[in-house]
Amino acid sequence: MKYVSILFLAAAVCVGMAMAQDNSSSGSSAKQDMKDAGHATKTGAKDVGHATATGAKDVGHATKTGAKDAGHATATGAKDAGHATETGAKDVGHATSSTTKKVFHPDSSKSSDSSK
């Protein structure tokens, strides 16, 4: 937007200078002054259009880069969360298995002496 403002200001100055010319000293007619002003306006409009296109291109590039970075961060976060879930599930499964063995399969080192 800064470039657009500068270009509009430059075009306005060019038009203002063309309008402020003294007809008697420059020898140009009002018709020529109008042509000059139109030419300056046309050139200014082209410059503004170019600056707008360049600005839009830069904004589009920044948006694309930002979206790419956000997608990468999301994928990395999802991968880390999945890994943490997997590890947690393994730990819970191991604890469940250990507890089940202790409950249903008492330690075989204790002998049950039936001769007593």
Tell me which DSSP letter residue 109 carries.
Answer: T
Handedness of CA 101, 104, 108, 110 (dihedral sign): positive
For the chain, which residues make up each domain, given as ranges?
A: 1-60
Tens digit of each residue's pLDDT (9 = 90 or more) over 43-61: 888 888 888 888 888 888 8
pLDDT value at 90 more than 60: yes
Does residue 98 carry a pLDDT above 70?
yes
What is the structure's pLDDT at 77?
Answer: 85
Stated pTM of the model = 0.35
Task: Yes or no: say if 36 and 19 are a contact pair by the CB < 8 Å rule.
Answer: no
Q: Which residues contact 18 (CB under 8 A, 6 or more apart)?
A: 33, 36, 37, 40
Q: Which of 15, 65, 75 is nearest to 39 (CA)?
A: 15
54/43 Cα distance (integer angstroms): 17
